[in-house]
Structures are given as C-alpha cells and as structure tokens.
Structure 1
C-alpha cells in the first residue's frame, strides 16, 4: 500500500504558511529570549547576565518593557509564510522525488530524514535575510529603529550581499533541524496507536510534532548559536570577522566559552520549537485536510 497522495505544491505552500504564522504568534517571545541568551558573552557583568529563561524574561520586561518581547516580530511574520510553506511543501516534494528515485511506494525513515534535510536547505535560502533583520533587532544593544532601517543601513554600510551573511550556518541549522524533525515524526507516528477519529489524529500529530521539534532543536542548537553570532557581526571592509564560517565558529566558541556555550538558549528554543513543532504539524495537517476536501 502506497502513502496517501499529497496535495499539489501550491496548496501545500498555503497550508505551510498558515501553520507557520499560527506558531510564531504564540511562541515568539521565547525566540527573543533564546536570541538574547545566545548573543550574551561570558564577559558580561553579573547584573546584566541572564541566569536562565525566567530571569531573562524578567529583566527584559523590567528594563525594556513587555512590548520588547515582540520586538522584531514584523520580520518573522513576513518570513513565516514563505519559510514554513517552503519547509512543508519542499519536504512533500522531496519525499515524492526520493520515493521515485529509490523505487519504493512507501516512505521510510531514512528517506524521511533525507527529505527533511533537503527541504531545510531550500528553506534556508528563503529565510536568511529575514533572520538577519530579526537578530539585529533582537540584540539588546540594537540601534536600529525597525526592519526597514536594518535593511537600509546594512545595504549602505556593509553592502547588499551582507543580507545573506550566515547563509552557510543557516543551511546547517535548517538541514539538521528538519532532518531531525521529520525523521522523528515518521518514527513516532509509526509507534503511536492508529487514529480512529479526528481528535486522536490531532493528538498523534501534536505528540509526534512536539517530539520532532524537541529532537530537531537538540541537534541544531550549536548551529543556531553560531548563526546568531555570525549574523550579529557587522561586515567591516578590511577587518577579519571573528565569526564567519560555521565550523571555525563552533571551535572558537568551544575554546573560549566551553561546550555549554554551544547550547546557549537551548531551553527557550526547545520550549518554543517542541510545542511549536506540534502546533506546526497539527495546523498544517488540519489546513491540508480542509484544502483537500475543497479539491474533491
């Protein structure tokens, strides 16, 4: 028996966009906390240091106001539609491609991992400029007034190609995250009891997506830390950037700050992308079913 026929690419794209926007509206403050913790160097004073997720929330709200937790959300909202749409639509397309290429009718876990990694690399091409704008706005010491100001000043001061700073590290992050996410979803779904009704199907998707988001976050966090550091480092002509390429940056952070620094921001990341992965999968599946009914 073959896998169910997926939606056309355009409808997969719509379902992924709706899922992405739903997730970002609920979980964005955790992304701000994650970025702050990742950008924080070990040399920061004790008074300014974030001692965990709750402390970071508390200090941001006390010193900068509650609205700061949504600083820079315009860029991710504009990004989430193409980002998540690309993730799910490309994943489904790569699943079809790899099943044809390997001559199988049903998806296997290795093909699920390969499809996810391929989709993640495609996704990274879409998100890099948006991620760069978001990182620059989320920095505690930002001098940018908003997304347009970020783009204008980067293009003027660093060059238009600087909008793609961190592309290589973003490919690592998204490739690894998607491989873990879709690979675990495949495995968890196979272990859960078959859904007999809609509520059980939603439950299974929420469980599988949460496990997938958690595992993907664990595997990809070191690349996420590196990406944040690279994208928050301005390009200055004639000056060597401390953080530039993924693996050298990984070794630099490890040598200067220790292994745990590569997992800075992991807790808020997993708190967001664990449940967030569940939300993504549930909303994507629900919207896909609605669109599928409309096309019958």
Structure 2
C-alpha cells in the first residue's frame, strides 16, 4: 500500500472537504450561537451600559422592575445559511475553503494513509481480515497522528469560518496568528483536535469497513455504488453522534479571543465544557448536530465513493 494509500485518501478527502464546506461553515456558526465571553462579562461596564434595578412609575408613585431583556432566538441551519447568504454574500459560504484544502491535505491524507498501512500490518495472517477492535485501534492511532499534523490549518479554518477577522487566506491567517499570538497558538485546542480526530477516524473508518464487510458477507448487495453509499452514510451518522460534543468545545476554544491584560475566556477544554453546560445546558454540546450530520453524512459518502473510484483507477499502480 505505502504511498498509494496516502495519495488515494488525500485526493478523496480534498474532494469531499471542498464539496461540503458550506455545511461545515454553517455548523461552526451554529456552535458559536449563545456563547458568552466570561472575560468580557467580568470586566467593569461603563455607567451608561448598566441597566437600572428598578424604574420609577410617576403614575403610581412606585418602583417597578424593568422588563427582562428579550430571549435569544436560536437559528436553525437553513436560516443561518440564508442569513449568511443575505448579509455576507454567496462567497461567504466558502470562507476558509483554502484552510479546508490545507487541512485535508495534512490531516486527512495522513490519517487515511496511515489507517490503510495499519490495516495491512495488523490483519489476521490466516483470513487477511482485520477484527473490529483492531480497526478501531488503527483509527484511533491514525486520527491522532493526522490531527497533530493538521492542527494549524484546523485553527485557521475555524477562525475564517466564524468570521469577524480579516484573513485573506489560510497562509495569511496562520502567519498573523503566529505573529500576534505566538507560534504555539497554531496548536491551540490541539488536545481537542486530536481527541476528536481519534473518535471520528475510529468510528468513521472502522464502521465503514465493518458495515461494508457485513453487507458483502451476507450477500445483501454487490460490491458497488449502492454498498458504498449505504456503508458510508451509516459511518457518517456514527461519527457525528460520537464526535459532536468534542467538536463544539473545539470550535469555541479555537475561536476564543484572548485580549491583552485579561484572562482568556476559557483556560482549557474542561473549563470550556463546564462553562458551556452551566450557561446553556447539557444539550449545548450537541449544538449544530443537524448541520453536523447534514455535513458528515454527505462528506463521508463523497469521501468513500470517491476513494473507491480512485482505487479502481489506480489499482494497477
């Protein structure tokens, strides 16, 4: 397999990443909805920004409490996408696509190629098959290594998708982060990225192989497009359920703005998780799940269908 596995996985990942990028952008925007900034909340507010505890009613000569602030309305994926299109233009739906290309080139090429190498290396010598437990372990290892390699592009992609920063492209984003926040900022949230990648890779690649093998062994379908689509969509669902909580925390940690002279909004992943749950409830960890599965499903389908076609083209090489 060697280099071939990296080439096949890399090409398939870039195609899948670019084709589903707008869905990923909507997911990031939804995950940031309702986020509070503890650093700003703790800072003293100007007097003109303070709401009075009570107001004087001249008609009844009594003090009455002011009306509560309006409740925050959570927007769904369609309304978020429409709002981005209306306020920022269609081009905004592809904000950070250069970072997606770099991320897939670094992260997905590494994880896909390494997984194939481990599959061959750890396969049963008699049957040639890889047991499910070994598939999961191979996915954990491959995902962790790939995430460590691709973290700078991941941070840049999240920030470019979130908006509010003046980045021309992924190289500009990485260079500005390194200059203003230090080189180590490129690995901000790396523990989350690695954990998420391990879970996604293990659940996505292992479940695809396992489901595909089950379909073929039971002669439910032939080894063709139908089998590939079925197995890949199921794998995308499994990966979405397993990874969404970590993905929410990763997005918020990577996107946080660290202001000079103030404590960062989050000191780490655990602090972010606790503050998110306390402020917004446990289900906040599944914010953006609909666009996550809406993106992860098509992404996984495009990934594996493209991968299978590339394997056919390159089978003689």
| TM-score bracket for this pair, using the shorter chain length | 0.7 to 0.9
CA contact (8 A) 2:258 2:265 kept: no
Q: Report the CA distance between 1:33 and its aligned residue.
A: 0.2
Q: Report the CA distance between 1:244 and its aligned residue.
A: 4.0
Mark the runs of 5 or more structure 2 residues left unpaired by the alignment. 38-68
Q: Report the CA distance between 1:90 and its aligned residue.
A: 0.9
> Who is 2:185 aligned against?
162
Q: Which of 97, 104, 115 in structure 2 is aligned with 1:73?
A: 97
Q: Report the CA distance between 1:257 and its aligned residue.
A: 1.0
CA distance in 1, matches of 2:293, 2:157: 19
> Who is 1:4 aligned against?
none
Please state if 1:99 is matched with 2:116: no
- Mapping of residues 176-255 of structure 1, within 5 Å: 176-193=199-216, 200-236=223-259, 239-255=262-278
Q: Report the CA distance between 1:267 and its aligned residue.
A: 1.0
CA contact (8 A) 1:195 1:201 kept: no
CA distance in 1, matches of 2:173, 2:183: 12
CA distance in 2, matches of 1:156, 1:182: 37
> Who is 1:140 aligned against?
163
Per-residue CA deviation, residues 55-114 of structure 1 (Å, 9 max, x unaligned), is: 1011111111111000110111122223222121111122234337x9974211111111
Which stretch shows the higher mean deviation, 210-219 or 142-151?
142-151
> Who is 1:61 aligned against?
85
Change (3 A) 1:25 1:245: same
CA distance in 2, matches of 1:145, 1:28: 17
> Who is 1:28 aligned against?
21
Change (3 A) 1:96 1:245: farther
Mark the runs of 5 or more structure 1 residues left unpaired by the alignment. 1-7
Which stretch shows the higher mean deviation, 111-120 or 184-193?
184-193
Aligned residues: 285
> Who is 1:121 aligned against?
144
Q: Report the CA distance between 1:169 and its aligned residue.
A: 0.3
Which stretch shows the higher mean deviation, 204-213 or 76-85?
76-85
CA contact (8 A) 2:10 2:112 kept: no
Change (3 A) 1:48 1:121: same
CA distance in 2, matches of 1:62, 1:47: 23
Larger Cα-atom Rg: 2
TM-score normalised by length of structure 1: 0.87
CA contact (8 A) 2:96 2:170 kept: yes
CA contact (8 A) 1:94 1:118 kept: no
> Who is 1:38 aligned against?
31
Q: Which has the higher helix share?
A: 1
Q: Report the CA distance between 1:145 and its aligned residue.
A: 3.6
CA contact (8 A) 1:16 1:81 kept: no
